Amino acid sequence: MASTPELAAEAVAWGEAFRDDLRKTDPSNIVHSSYISLTSPVKYSKLKEIKGLYEPNNVFKSALAQFY
């Protein structure tokens, strides 16, 4: 959903480029699932470990989704 046809076209182009880039990626380098349940301390610890590897500077600590 976009507020103008131009923004819609831009969003579609971005999505198609993202899809095309994913198709070029080695499948062994893609996480099989993006859902991580935090129902146990062990799982939370694993999430912190992964986050430390891929996002060590905690740049996204205050990231909020914006809905228009």
pLDDT in tens, 16-46: 999 898 888 887 877 666 565 666 777 778 8
Q: What is the mean pLDDT of the chain?
A: 79
On whether residue 67 sits in a domain, the answer given is no
On whether residue 51 sits in a domain, the answer given is yes
d(CA 7, CA 55): 30
On whether residue 45 sits in a domain, the answer given is yes
| Helical H segments across 1-68, by residue range | 5-24, 41-54
On whether residue 68 sits in a domain, the answer given is no
Domain housing 40: 5-62
pTM over 0.75: no
On whether residue 50 sits in a domain, the answer given is yes
Q: How many domains does the chain have?
A: 1
Residue scoring higher pLDDT (40 or 9): 9
On whether residue 24 sits in a domain, the answer given is yes
**68, pLDDT greater than 50:** no
d(CA 40, CA 57): 25
Q: Which amino acid is at 6?
A: E
**pLDDT range class, residue 47, cuts 50, 70, 90:** confident
